[in-house]
Amino acid sequence: MAEQGVAQVWRRIRTIYNILGNRCTTCNTYYFPPRPVCPTCRRKGKLEDYQFKGLGKIYSYTIVRQAPEDFQKQIPYVIAQVELDEGTRLTAQIVNVNPEDVEIGMRVRACFRKIKAFGSGGVIVYGYKFEPTMHVTGHDE
């Protein structure tokens, strides 16, 4: 049997390190996480892998001030639904910004970060968080 979290995280590494989802070519809808079946087209759907560009804007957000043990060292932290440019939304932390400055509509880009560890000695999960876009990266509008 795997240590807590190891297999659960390892099998998703490609997905959460790269924001690798998929796209239904029949209805041109993008999915993250990748869906095994396109819920609109079902058996008529054709799904192919798609790597998201990692750019989007904040759809809604909150500042988490009470969290379970694995996130306790990070509070207060910002959790948001990010609407990616492809039209798909996902849930992620917003970093590199004062929590009070976050607002709906803010332009953000993905960054690679430590997400959490399973307990004190458990596997560390890495993956995507998002940060405000900046001039220097050329992602500013």
Partner 1 sequence: MSDRVAIIGVGMCKFGELWEQSLRDITLEAGMYAIFDSGVRGADIDGVVIGNMSAGRFTGQEHLGAQAADMGGLGDMPAYSVEAACASGGAAVRHAYMAIKSGEHDLMLVLGNEKMSDVNQSEAMNTISVAADWEYEGMFGATFPALYAMMARRHMKEYGTTEEQLALPTVKNHANAEHNPWAQFQRAVPLGVVMKSGLIADPLRVLHSAPVTDGAAGLVVCREDLAKKYSDTPVYIEASEQRGDTLALHDRKSITRMDAVIYSTKSALKEANLKVEDIDVFELHDSFSIGEIILTEDVGIAKKGEGGKALEEGITEIGGKFPVNTGGGLKARGHPVGATGVAQIVELALQLRGDAEKRQVDGAEKGLAVNIGGTGATSIVHIIGR
Under the binding rule (CB under 8 A), the answer on residue 33 touching partner 1 is yes
What is the closest distance, in whole angstroms, from the C-beta atom of residue 56 to partner 1 in the complex? 11
What is the closest distance, in whole angstroms, from the C-beta atom of residue 41 to partner 1 in the complex? 16
Alpha carbons within 13 angstroms on the beta-carbon side of residue 141 total 10
Of 22-30, 43-51, 75-83, 132-140, the window that binds partner 1 (rule: CB under 8 A) is 75-83
Under the binding rule (CB under 8 A), the answer on residue 65 touching partner 1 is yes
Could you say which residues in the range 85-124 bind partner 1, by CB under 8 A? 89-93, 104, 115-116
- Please answer whether residues 49 and 35 qualify as being in contact, where contact means their C-beta atoms are separated by less than 8 angstroms: no
Q: Enumerate binding residues for partner 1 (CB under 8 A).
A: 8, 12, 33, 59-69, 71-72, 74, 77, 79-81, 89-93, 104, 115-116, 125, 127
